[in-house]
Structure 1
Amino acid sequence: MRSVSIKELLTGKQLLQEITVNGWVRTFRSNRFIALNDGSTLHNIQCVVDFEKFDDAILKHVNTGAALKITGTLVESQGKGQSVEIQVRDIFVHGGADPEVYPIQPKKHSLEFLREKAHLRVRTNTFSAVMRVRSALAFAIHQYFRDNGFYYFHAPIITGSDAEGAGEMFRVTTLDEKNPPLKEDGTVDFKEDFFGKETNLTVSGQLEAEAYAMALGKVYTFGPTFRAENSNTSRHLAEFWMIEPEMAFYDLDANMDLAEDFIKYVIRYVLDHCEEDLKFLETRLLDEEKTKPQAERSEMALIEKLKFITDNNFKRVTYTEAIEILRNSSPNKKKKFQYLIDEWGADLQSEHERYLVEKHFKCPVILFDYPAKIKAFYMRLNEDGKTVRAMDILFPGIGEIVGGSQREERLDVLKQKMAALDIPEEELWWYLDLRKFGTAVHSGFGLGFERLVLFATGMGNIRDVIPFPRTPQNAEF
């Protein structure tokens, strides 16, 4: 008999039919009521056991965490809290779980404790809800780009270039760490390494995506990226996923149009398809907020915050305008900002970005035309010679969520910018070739997937929205 998901059973469409369901025991009460969950939904299905019909040898294995196959009849429930239940005819124990050592017991566990049990934490309501929302967001991303004529492009994970100029990359090598080959000057001779040069794990697939956009028109990457930044904060991961579309013949305005449309689409998708999980996560967040000081509490509930994005037009503001707003703002004048804004050219912090979104404009904001000195070399220089065609999208509660730009398509200007930053032309000869052969206006942006999931679920720590987080001193699973 085909196994039916609990999500399907709870619709009641198979009432009075004999069915088979597989799942894990959440609770077993009074030797009679099994709460079974299979991950398809937040809700459990109650399975009613006539214990006199079952051998104790079977029932002793029915503990929290055990995996069971249950066959029985779906009937209307006589109890409260569920509309249907299963009258159990047969129980097969796939695998037991010793209640003395099984760590995910039916009680409240701290998020810190559950991070130590990352292989089992998805069996809790919180993490199963988060991961279903994460899955829905990933599907929506692919659906949006497919519907809008983009081609999915797999950027290399091993790279010889540093797209961001960050300098904080994980090295990839097969050299003997205790006795590497050395040059005459005592430095490591990477010509003897596997790839014949120094290579690292990528921080971005953007540069390679640009090459494919200049042939296929519109492409996007969606894959893992890596930063060896020693930041043990609630906003940083060493391994995370990035969505990076690149579009030929798009200027910055078209880039901003696409980014706004894209992000509204994926958030609208989870509002439409993850209502049950979002309501649960909203309740969890409201309970968590009650423990915080009033000043630290969010002004919007989770679903309201998501609709704030889908229902508002994004306000477009130049960096220069934003600096004037921030410089003259009450928090800046009263020195309540941790980082005071004194002059043009300052690199905006999350507190400034959130002020613009939550206090000043009261809608999502796109900042554009940033100072060239604080942005990457590949961004197109404006005619003023001091700003670039960069844009960031700012959200409530999180600040920057999307960063992008119109790319520098002029060979001579790109060479000048690389020279000013001591980026050797021979390292990016192929990138310069794109400006020699059929160059054109083009643009793109990057969205950190975990930041999007963090925003959509209301979780407070980025470690809790990725299955197995990689952070400093932590690669346990």
Structure 2
Amino acid sequence: VSVCGWVKTAREANKGAILFVELNDGSTPNNIQVVIDSKAKGFDSLKGQCGTGASLRCTGKVVQSPGGKQAVELLVVDADDAVVLFGGVDAKEYPLAKKHHSHEYLRSIAHLRPRSNYIGCVARVRAALAQATHEFFRSRGFLYVHTPLITAADCEGAGEMFQVTTMIQDMEKEGKNSLPKGADGKTDYTKDFFCKPAFLTVSGQLSVENYCCALSNVYTFGPTFRAENSHTSRHLAEFWMIEPELAFANITDDMDCAEDYLKYCVKYAMDHNREDLDWFDGQIEKGLVARLENLLAEPFGRVTYTEAIEILIKESPTANFLVPVEWGMDLNSEHERHLAEKVMKKPTIVYNYPKDIKAFYMRLNEDEKTVAAMDVLAPGIGE
């Protein structure tokens, strides 16, 4: 059996005649132990070069491991066995040691951070969720639509968009210190690349709605950009967003689709990436796997916005909310989490929001006070 990968750790035994190497090929957070004896071909090439980060190909025999940390190990101990050093590393010079590293430090070694367990697990789970997304919607007859990343439309209407322009570089090339102006004194965008203001998209929704009104159920899945100058874990400058549009459907169909989609993705990750999720549970967030299992165990809770407000008002005396609860407000994270974690104790869908706090294009309900909008609230997260 031949195994290729990168060294996580290496230690010598028997006065350097044996090497115990933990090897990882990136397919899992778990390593395989390789025992390399001096009799194996290529052993001498490892001297001083088999530190953390070195890349090897080891050919030997898989046997049951006598140690308790792994079920099997690879023995490269005979003259017929071999080890090939693709790239040696001096352990003293390698910046990614076998210990916890902060996200800030990992960003400073961007070329190596995918080798960390954290980034590796994130990449594998993210790939699985992307695959699950396409499988879910295609299996239900949705058409995948690619929407523009550069657009003149402000879908959200908030104005928090990254602008795309070539005028600044043109201005610098020409040695000017101001953008071209029109007769009205405003920036003359006819001199720009697109001859009008252009931005990175905040959402593909407006574009994909057009396709929905011609091709029925569709979805878009791609990067979106927000120029919100808020440095929190809930605000990203760039992220991928899934936006389905259902034709000839109502709010119940929408809620059913959202619940089915989330459960499909979670189950897909549990089935295909359990080792990664277990690593997250052990190293990043205790109880994560149990929370995901709870998400799959029973139907999501469903309450109208009005019912949610009534519940939260009753809970207020003991919940000690920082922001008082009243009908018409946009629920804060503390309200959303309390509802999902303390009251419903499971993922919960809140629907039929006041029209004044939702986008203009939401369908107006018969009461003319609320619109057919819904949000999914999850324990530990909120919306």
TM-score where L is the length of structure 1: 0.73
Distance in 1 between residues matched to 2:109 and 2:185, nearest whole Å: 45
Percent of aligned pairs with the same amino acid:
53
- Farther-moved stretch of structure 1 (176-185 vs 202-211): 176-185
Residue type of the partner of 1:376? Answer: A
Shift of 1:84: 2.5
Q: Report the 3-state secondary structure (helix = DSSP H, G, I; strand = E; otherwise coil) of the residue aligned with 1:33.
A: strand
1:395-410 matches, within 5 Å, as: 395-400=378-383
Residue from 107, 111, 114 that aligns with 1:122: 114
2:283 counterpart of 1:338:
no
Distance in 2 between residues matched to 1:352 and 1:191, nearest whole Å: 48
5+ residue gaps, structure 2, are 172-176
Map of 2:299 onto structure 1? 313
5+ residue gaps, structure 1, are 1-18, 290-300, 401-477
Map of 1:70 onto structure 2? 58
Note the alpha carbon deviations across 1:249-301, whole angstroms, 9 max, x for none: 11111111111111111111112222222222212246xx6xxxxxxxxxxx1
Distance in 2 between residues matched to 1:84 and 1:377, nearest whole Å: 60
Over the aligned positions, Cα root-mean-square deviation in angstroms equals 1.9
Distance in 2 between residues matched to 1:182 and 1:334, nearest whole Å: 59
1:23-422 matches, within 5 Å, as: 23-30=5-12, 31=16, 32-51=19-38, 54=42, 56-88=44-76, 89-176=81-168, 178-285=177-284, 301-329=287-315, 332-333=316-317, 336-341=320-325, 343-400=326-383
1:437-448 matches, within 5 Å, as: none
Note the alpha carbon deviations across 1:420-473, whole angstroms, 9 max, x for none: xxxxxxxxxxxxxxxxxxxxxxxxxxxxxxxxxxxxxxxxxxxxxxxxxxxxxx
| Number of residues of Structure 1 aligned to a counterpart in Structure 2 | 366
User: Does the CA contact (< 8 Å) of 1:312 and 1:364 recur in 2?
Assistant: no
- Farther-moved stretch of structure 1 (348-357 vs 102-111): 102-111
Shift of 1:52: 5.6
TM-score where L is the length of structure 2: 0.90
Note the alpha carbon deviations across 1:128-184, whole angstroms, 9 max, x for none: 222222211111111111111111111110011111112100001111354322112
Residue type of the partner of 2:182? Answer: K
Note the alpha carbon deviations across 1:229-254, whole angstroms, 9 max, x for none: 01111222100000011111111111
Note the alpha carbon deviations across 1:175-223, whole angstroms, 9 max, x for none: 1354322112221111221111111000000111111111211111110
- Farther-moved stretch of structure 1 (182-191 vs 196-205): 182-191
Higher relative contact order (CA 8 A, sep 6+): 1
Distance in 2 between residues matched to 1:398 and 1:250, nearest whole Å: 28
Residue type of the partner of 2:70? Answer: Q
Distance 1:143 1:352, change over 3 A: same
User: Does the CA contact (< 8 Å) of 2:113 and 2:119 recur in 1?
Assistant: yes
Distance in 2 between residues matched to 1:283 and 1:55, nearest whole Å: 36
